[in-house]
Amino acid sequence: MLPLILVLLLALILFGAGFALKALWWVAVIVLVVWLLGFVARSTHSSGHRNRWYRW
């Protein structure tokens, strides 16, 4: 009975880790798209040079 519980617990942990990693990949893709769109949609100043859309 104990080995069965350990196998089920291991499967549950691996499933949770896999779901978390997949969710983190989606978050990384969304952040990358927003970051790339920031370079495309930068505003220009009256002096003609482009300003950075972030402050750091």
State the burial class of residue 26 (Cβ atoms within 10 Å of its Cβ: 0-12, 13-18, 19+): exposed
Domain count, the chain: 1
Decide if 5 is inside a domain.
yes
Check whether 49 has a pLDDT greater than 80.
no
Decide if 20 is inside a domain.
yes
User: Two tokens at 51?
Assistant: 């300003």
Strand partners, 50: 44
Distance, CA of 4 to CA of 8 (rounded, Å): 6
Decide if 41 is inside a domain.
no
Tell me what the mean pLDDT of segment 35-49 comes to. Answer: 68
pLDDT tens-place string over residues 2-37: 888 888 888 888 888 888 888 888 999 999 998 888
Q: Which domain holds residue 4?
A: 1-36
Residue with tokens 């499933």: 15
Tell me what the mean pLDDT of segment 41-48 comes to. Answer: 60
Predicted confidence band at 56 (pLDDT cuts at 50, 70, 90)?
Answer: low
pTM for the whole thing? 0.55
Decide if 7 is inside a domain.
yes
